[in-house]
Amino acid sequence: MAVNQLSNRNYQLFSDYHTHPQGHRVQYYSSGLLQPWADSARQLGLTDIAFTDHDRYHTGIEFDEIDHLRERNPDLKIRAGIELDNDPVHSAAGRKWIEKHWDKLDFVLGSVHFLDRADQMFDSVPNGATQFEGRDLDAIYADYFRRIRDIAATGLVDCLAHVDLIKIHGHRPATEIGAIVNETLDFIHARNIAIELSTAGWRKPVNELYPSDRIIELALEKRIPFTIASDAHSHAQLGENFPRLMQKMANFGIREVCIFERHQRIARAVCAEPLL
Ligand SMILES: [Zn+2]
Ligand SMILES: [Zn+2]
């Protein structure tokens, strides 16, 4: 029997909705590329995973291969997804591809990786940090969240990824974060979009969950639903730090996460018993 490292007496985290089988280059989907992800999921006790490669690598995504993987692993729910960002060079083609394949996709993540520079993602570690040097951090934060609203407004995303990625290198605004994000969270709520709780922030310089506690509080107040995610770029990263995430969710009393099937959002309990 698989050792389930992702549950305690009250909680069981069973999904991971942000994964990159291709990593950071085009690699065509094949059983050799995808099966290790299914094997890792099973080992961890995950039963529902979404592949969300970057839209700039959409040519590698083969829906037939995802179907074959589903046939070979009937105990798992495997969702076809993609991460659409604001890449000034590639995203126009990415959007077209998403529109064309909308009915085959279960799930689209939206994200912002680019600020003013078209040639460098601001979340490159460590070089992206240079984009913050000598800049007004409040203005950078305001600009970032405006771009988040732009992605949300495309009508093509089911969920926003790492919604406060702008903190990745540890830069903090002078203004209280709640005042900066409030309008954006209202916009997300009005658009009926989910946000993710991403453990990826724990392996970055900021060393903090995406999003921050204050943003989680506001999202809970506004009843914005959550997915849970590792942003794994290797099958070895699947479900990374989920026990720590589970503790965070217990502290906030978050008792359900959402999953997606053909863009339909479904809430699922992750907490079987009353919280202590
Ligand atoms: Zn991302
Ligand atoms: Zn990602």
Q: Report the separation in Å between the CA atom of 200 and the middle of ligand 1, taken as the mean of its atom positions.
A: 9
pLDDT given for residue 4 in this prediction: 44
> Ligand 2: distance of its center to the CA of 9 in Å?
30
The model's pLDDT over 233-258, given as tens digits with 9 standing for 90+, comes to: 999 999 999 999 999 999 999 999 99
The pLDDT tens digits for 134-184 are 999 999 999 999 999 999 999 999 999 999 999 999 999 999 999 999 999
Residue-wise pLDDT for 164-178, tens only, equals 999 999 999 999 999
* Alpha carbon of 274 to ligand 1 centroid (Å): 34
Length of the chain: 276
Distance 91 CA to ligand 1 centre (A): 13
Burial class of residue 223 in the structure, from the number of CB atoms within 10 Å of its CB (0-12 exposed, 13-18 middle, 19+ buried)? exposed
CA of 146 to the centre of ligand 2 (A): 20
3-state secondary structure of 267: strand
Running DSSP on this structure, what letter comes out for residue 54? E
Closest ligand to 231 CA? Answer: 2
Q: Give distance in angstroms: CA of 121 to centre of ligand 1.
A: 10
What is the rounded CA–CA span in Å between residue 101 and residue 108?
11
Report CA(135)–ligand 1 centroid distance (Å).
Answer: 23
Query: Beta strand pairing status for 48-54 and 77-84?
Result: parallel
Tell how far the Cα of 115 is from the centroid of ligand 1, in angstroms: 13
* Distance from C-alpha of 273 to C-alpha of 276, rounded to nearest angstrom: 9
Give yes or no for residue 2 having a pLDDT over 50.
no
Compute, in angstroms, the gap from residue 20 CA to the centroid of ligand 2.
Answer: 7
How far, in Å, is the centroid of ligand 2 from the Cα of 175? 28
Q: Among the bound ligands, name the one nearest to the CA of residue 24.
A: 2
Residue 8 has pLDDT above 90, yes or no: no
